Structure 1
Amino acid sequence: MEIVSAGVSESPLDPAEASAAVGDDRAGAVVSFTGVVRNHDGGRAVDWIEYSCHPKADEVIGDIAAKAAEAFADRGVHRLWVGHRVGKLVVGDVAFLVAASASHRAEAFEACSWLVEEVKRDIPVWKRQVFPDGTHEWSNSA
């Protein structure tokens, strides 16, 4: 099992690049999840968001990816890619990206889903949403 990439990034995340990076001749499936910035939250319009992270966020994502590699190594999962943006993002930008390749689709879906849930639960990233009236709101969930 190879962890191709795991961490936070100030640069844009590219779903096609992540999917290509996890490609493997042994894989019959490549599954990805792309979380994008939406234009609303809780019934309010959102103009843009800003993600901030704890200095150990890279380490946390790396640890989660390592746990996934251990958990799925004997299940035909070959490569993993996981990244979360930090900084200012606008509606439509990719904020969170996970990709997994596996011999079969069920294991690729399961590994991808597992990574999404674990990262969303444990990553030390905070989101500031900015609304059209200039007000903002902080959330401790990425």
Structure 2
Amino acid sequence: MKKISIINGPNLNLLGKREPELYGTVNFVDYLNKLKKKKIFSDMDITYYQSNHEGKIIDILHAIGFQSDGIVLNAGAYTHTSLGIADAIKSISAPVIEVHISNIHSRESFRKKSFLSSVCQGTIFGFGLKSYELGIFSFFS
């Protein structure tokens, strides 16, 4: 059984309430529960973490980064500011896929710079919550 971890960063605990025109009306836990019920993911142990604190995200990466078969990370705004999270990703053995719900290149100019992309296996963005599912699919090979 593959161990896949999903980590969400700041403000993503407000999905379903926060800017629904941009992020939709489904909260993440409901989405995750539906995702886990899909037959294609039945042989995966999918765990979920969320923190609004940069240091906690780094601690989570350190704790799971040598045990997980893959990590799907939406670091939220820390994508554009955190060298600490980038260094944590470089320090672990698990492959990390960076995901974003919105198309970060169609938004404010500061969102076009990611400190994480260069240390991640890949980046998926702009597909709404489906971005997470696509991130998980990348670990199937």
Q: TM-score range by the shorter chain?
A: under 0.3
Larger Rg: 1
TM, length-normalised to structure 1: 0.26
Q: Give the number of the structure whose residues are more often helix, by fraction.
A: 2
> Where is the strand percentage greater, Structure 1 or Structure 2?
1
TM-score (norm 2): 0.26
